[in-house]
Structure 1
Amino acid sequence: MPPCFLSFNPPSTSISKFISDQPFLSMLETNCHSIKDLKKIHAHLIKTGLAKDTIAASRVLAFCATARDLDYAFSVFCQIEKQNLFTWNTIIRGFCQSSNPRVAISLFVEMLVSATVQPEKLTYPSVFKAYTHLGLAEDGAQLHGRIIKLGLEFDPFIRNSIIHMYANCGLLGNARKLFDENTDSDVVAWNSMVMGLAKCGQVEEAWGLFVKMPARNETSWNSMISGFVRNGKWIEALDLFCEMQDMKIRPSEFTVVSILNACAKLGALEQGKWIHDYIKKNDIEMNVIVVTAIIDMYCKCGNIETARQVFETAPRKGLSSWNSMMLGLATNGFENEVFELFSELESSYLRPDSVSFVGVLTACNHSLQVDKAKEYFKLMTETYGIEPTIKHYGCMVDVLGRVGLIEEAAEVIRSMPMKPDAIIWGSLLSACKIHRDVDVAEWAARNLILSDPDETSAHVLMSNVYAASGDLKKAVQERVKMKEKMMEKQPGCSLIEVNGEVHEFVAGGKWQFSSAG
């Protein structure tokens, strides 16, 4: 064991000078490799009386906050006799970046009412970030008012944090006003606006700002690519990624995850493989998010074997990776493998969640195993205490309906604690068409129309139900209703990748997407 700070006795004179001197800092860096080491050092500081020194406690506090042990950091903070601006800013910043940013706001309020230390300009960006994480832009607007009164509204760090808060929380008018008022906005402000517009579905406006940006960084490209993917513009996302490669800009893990999602949506297997190879060749970290995105891409492109290889060899896989693999197996017809994988999950250190049960219920649905679906539904609610969502109820309605248990499926809908959506009513209606149950079909169709008046499937499926039961007059009447409402059935389409190009085939013609890669 190397020489440790614990065996070092500082001179009794001028404790503060010793703490601020290089010997203490170098020993802290040399011997403190983890929060466990720090706690030993802190224990020694307490024993020797050094812990009461504000500078010493500040160093310990900063390490705790950086190491994300905020419980310990908070205990250190509370033990400091004379808290200064640095200690307040450190603990507020630590909590604003944590999973509990509300504590950061509470600490800020406590700081405001304290008689000793008041916030200054470096304090405010962290507080605005906490409001952003919580989606509380309206509350943050009150702090914005304080900033104006203090004359700090032109500080670039504060201004950027306010723009980001408004844009991220959907208050685009407020964000744009601040953005336009500053003719010298930096790349951070531009990125916030692009990200906020794309997040709120205004992807064309986001693109308009992106092309006007005087300078771009990695975040700029990632924000625009993820914005395209979020809004279903997958080809545009792939094209922009190719342009990013031409500009020799190294993508982050967030960029490759967005591109993998685009490939998954398009069924672009070859391009997805290229991205996977790119990740391996460029040493992009195979963290849980990246691993899950790769598995999801291969599953949605139908390459289950490779998806399973990625899953089995992944250095780190979280619950999301397990869930993605189970859902992929279920949707590709490997139901027994789903049940086996779920058993492995139960035996692991992880605990199945709501999505895990969507996976096994989907497998039950596809394999028409009603009894097994009921067992898993009971296991979910009684053993794991998971409250069923509309997706779980949808799986139950679908499997019951497909095997002809129409009344039981209808009873599940009646027992739901939430309002059924158009998907559930459509599922029941489709089952009624297969099993020619006109009465339940009419009930489902009425509710489907109430749920989504513009949905054409209610009339189309009811027409088919009537036709299957031999009532051609009512079948024709449903088609007439569609014409009277000027409703048109959307043509079916499918996607296929050929030689690196993704093509969309539509009933009545063929559309070709541009090549992306």
Structure 2
Amino acid sequence: MAPLYVRACSSPNQSPTAAPLLPSSASISAFIASDPALTLLHTRCASMAHLRQLHAALVKSGLAKDPIAASRAVAFCAGPGRDVAYAERIVRHHPKPNSFMWNTVIRALSDGAAPEAAVALFVDMLSSPVTPDRRTFPSLFAAYARLGGGRDGTALHGMALKLGVAGDAYVRNATIAMYASRGAADEATALFARCAEFDVVACNSVIVALARAGRVDGARAVFDGMPDRTVATWSAMVSAYARASRCSEVLALFSEMQADGVEPNANVLVSVLGCCASLGALEQGAWVHAYIDRHGVAMNALVVTALVDMYCKCGSIHKAREVFETARSQGLAKLASWNSMMQGLAVHGQWREAVALFSELESYGLNPDNVTFIAVLTAYGHSGMPDEAKAAFASMASEHNVVPGIEHYGCLVDALARAGRLQEAEDVIQAMPMAPDAAVWGALLSGCRLHGDTELGARAAREAVRCDPRDSSAYVLAASVLAREGDAGRGAGVRGQMREAGVGKVPGCSMIEVNGVVHEFLLMRITLISMLKLGKKFHFHTSNMNLSLKQEQDTFDILS
């Protein structure tokens, strides 16, 4: 079994560095044939039950102490879907485990549910006579990447340098991937610069490292400079744009990927669907869905959730429900899919359907999590049912062992404020076990605006600004509350404070999809003087207050 890193990234033409199971020599073949239990282990063993019987026979005969026999047993136990813990016990209790035994179990543990066990076994290896080699380190770097142990990973890199194996291509690539996992772009690029020749695996890892460090344009420069790309390369670059919320680039890159004839993997499709959801690009999202069906892309929980989320956010709630019900009938809808469906129903005012799904969770063997309760609280809040929201909130810890977070308090405050129970909403804020943020105070402030409570609204606005002085929404809502109560002077004063603080109002934005292309329009203020300057570009029909924009929009735009 090749190391985790090699199995994930090697091309078919690359030779894995892992040693063969056993040297194929006549002497070893004769040794295996000399013992019935060892022969059966080599030719007939098909389950852990068989392995335990044969291992017991080897122990009884004394052959279990032989490194060749023990290596056979360890290799079988460490295979996919078997019992790596049994393999680990063999290594720990063997009088003289060889490097193959150590490396095989470390590799399997690093790929398992508890990668820290691989590190623990490596520490024991350091106390043995066996020295770690170039086959040891890739698995350990993969374990540290999964654990997020950047500092320890750096120490491991130092050990590889000291032992003279850091220059091995597989060790180097695993090291780059480890640094990439924590966004250590400088360390990753420094190692990348030492590559004597083009290495697609190293390039992919550097793209990830730069993206996680926020250097997306640098990642694109690496991508553009590659003479050859794999689907993993495209996936890394698409994910980089998606992580940076540069959705237009995601869709453009996906189109380029199609033009180059590269089949996208599930990760690419999930990223593209997420961007379609963010842009409201229903037509493009539906095209991706059709592509999945047309090309027989394997549906998994990630793809199902991405499709449900996309359709919900694009306003096609019936299509989202169709995808969800199909996935549920096939056993593909995991909790994340349920949460997305419930949230979509809640936002679209279908609270009964959202609550009905919530009541069915346990019958499908699923337990609600913190995201589930955000959907439930949103459903009750948007439907004007604050008492039901309070009951759901109270049941989180008492019935479902889910500790309410700040986002749940925000949903409860929003539900109470929408219903006009403003003082009760403020009481909830005052009783919170954590400090409220600007979003929580903003929920109360929105309720004050809706129900015309200027005194409480002013108090909520002050707290919201204190939590986040750069958030324009608190200023705008406060000014709106005052203006609605006829206090235009104080409202103008709030906007003056906003200007003095250098806080700009986020412009209103509308998007429309035409022929698969999303057009974005930003609402911007424009002065009379500026309008006069634009006279050459615009024709005013004052009789019906209609403003016609001529063809030349490249120089001046009000909506852009």
TM-score, normalized by length of structure 2? 0.83
In structure 2, what is the Cα distance between the partners aligned to 1:84 and 1:20?
21
- Residues 1:91 and 2:105 are matched in the alignment: yes
User: How many Å apart are 1:453 and its aligned residue?
Assistant: 1.3
Q: Aligned pair 1:100/2:117, yes or no?
A: no
1:510 to partner: Cα distance: 7.4
**What is the distance in 2 between the residues matched to 1:63 and 1:369?**
58
CA distance in 2, matches of 1:255, 1:179: 24
* CA shift for structure 1 position 25: 3.8
Counterpart position of 2:446: 430
5 Å-filtered alignment, 1:366-381, equals 366-381=382-397
TM superposition shift of 1:62: 3.0
Distance 1:180 1:44, change over 3 A: closer
Query: 2:78 aligns to what SS in structure 1?
Result: helix
Q: Equivalents in 2 of 1:449, 1:99: separation in Å?
A: 44
Which of the numbers 27, 46, 70 marks the counterpart of 2:44? Answer: 27
Residue 184, structure 1, aligned to residue 194, structure 2: no
For 2:458 and 2:374, how far apart are their aligned partners in 1?
Answer: 28
Partner of 1:245: 258
* Letter paired with 1:98: G
Contact between 1:503 and 1:511, CA under 8 Å: does it hold in 2? Answer: no
Q: Secondary structure at the match of 2:458?
A: helix
Q: How does 1:43-442 map to 2 (within 5 A)?
A: 43-47=53-57, 49=59, 52=64, 54-68=67-81, 69-115=83-129, 117-314=130-327, 315=330, 316-442=332-458
2-structure distance, mates of 1:191, 1:144: 20
CA contact (8 A) 1:298 1:306 kept: yes
Offset at 1:226? 1.0
Question: How far off is 1:57 after superposition?
Answer: 4.2
Instruction: Tell me if the contact between 2:276 and 2:282 (Cα under 8 Å) persists in the aligned partners.
Output: yes
Distance 1:312 1:411, change over 3 A: same
Cα distance in 2 for residues equivalent to 1:389 and 1:339 = 20
Residue 204 of structure 2 aligns with an amino acid whose one-letter code is N
Residues 1:126 and 1:366: Cα distance change in structure 2 (over 3 Å): same
CA deviations on 1:312-334 (whole Å, 9 max, x unpaired) are 11222211111111111111221
**Residues 134 and 171 of structure 2 are in contact (CA less than 8 Å); yes or no, is this contact kept in structure 1?**
yes
Higher Rg: 2
Give the number of aligned pairs: 492
| 8 Å CA contact 1:125, 1:157 repeated in 2 | yes
Question: Which residue is 1:5 aligned to?
Answer: none
Give SS of 2:209's match: helix
Deviation at 1:336, TM superposition (A): 0.3
CA distance in 2, matches of 1:225, 1:380: 37
How far does residue 187 in structure 1 lie from its aligned partner after superposition? 0.9
Deviations 1:48-78 (A, max 9, x none): 6478254444344334433244444434444
Kept in 1: contact 2:183–2:211 (CA 8 A) = no
The separation in 2 between residues aligned to 1:22 and 1:242, in whole angstroms, is: 55
Cα deviation, residue 478, structure 1? 0.8
Q: 2:50 aligns with which of 20, 40, 44?
A: 40
One-letter identity of the residue aligned with 1:190: C
Residues 380-437 of structure 1 show CA distances to partners (whole Å, capped at 9, x for unaligned) of 1101111111111110010111111112111221222222222112111111112222
Displacement, 1:185? 4.7
CA contact (8 A) 1:137 1:166 kept: yes
Deviation at 1:352, TM superposition (A): 1.2
Query: Matched residues in 1 for 2:36 and 2:117: separation?
Result: 29
The answer to whether the Cα contact below 8 Å between 2:41 and 2:51 also exists between their aligned partners in 1 is no
1:43/1:148 CA distance change after superposition, 3 Å:
same
Q: Which moved more, 1:433-442 or 1:18-27?
A: 18-27
CA distance in 1, matches of 2:99, 2:313: 52
Question: Which residue matches 2:474?
Answer: 458
Structure 1 residues 17, 212: CA separation in 2 closer, same or farther (over 3 Å shift)? farther
Q: Cα deviation per residue 1:10-51 (whole Å; 9 max; x = unaligned)?
A: xxx9457668998754434xxx2xxxx332332243246478
2:126 alignment partner, SS class: helix
**Given residue 281 of structure 1, which amino acid in structure 2 is its aligned partner?**
R
- Whole-Å Cα distance in 2 between the matches of residues 223 and 498 of structure 1? 29
Q: CA deviation at 1:207?
A: 0.8
Deviates more, 1:380-389 or 1:59-68: 59-68
Aligned counterparts of 2:378 and 2:73: Cα–Cα separation in 1? 50
Q: Choose 473-482 or 61-70, whichever is displaced more.
A: 61-70
Judged with a 3 Å threshold, the aligned counterparts in structure 2 of structure 1 residues 372 and 17 are, in CA distance, closer, same or farther, namely: farther
Pick which of 251-260 and 42-51 moved more.
42-51
CA distance in 1, matches of 2:78, 2:406: 40
Q: Given residue 103 of structure 1, which amino acid in structure 2 is its aligned partner? A: A
Residue 454 of structure 1 and its aligned partner are, at CA, apart by 1.4
CA offsets 1:71-115 (integer angstroms, 9 cap, x no match): 444344445454221121111111212232111111111100123
**1:481 deviation in Å?**
1.4
Residue 488 to residue 328, structure 1, CA distance change in 2 (3 Å): same
Hey, what's the Cα distance between the residues in 1 that align with 2:522 and 2:52?
68
Write the deviation string for residues 233-282 of structure 1: whole angstroms up to 9, x where unpaired. 11111111111112111111111111111111111111111111211222
Contact 1:380 1:386 in 2 (8 A): yes
454-463 or 224-233: bigger deviation: 454-463
Q: Please tell me the residue identity of whatever aligns with 1:280.
A: D
Q: TM-score, normalization: structure 1?
A: 0.90
Aligned partner of 1:167: which letter?
Answer: A
Percent identical across equivalent pairs? Answer: 44
SS in 2 for 1:138: helix
Does the aligned pair in 1 maintain the 2:32–2:39 contact within 8 Å?
no
* Matched position secondary structure for 2:511: strand
Return the alpha-carbon distance in structure 2 between the equivalents of residues 254 and 228 of structure 1: 13
Cα distance in structure 2, aligned partners of 1:229 and 1:280: 23
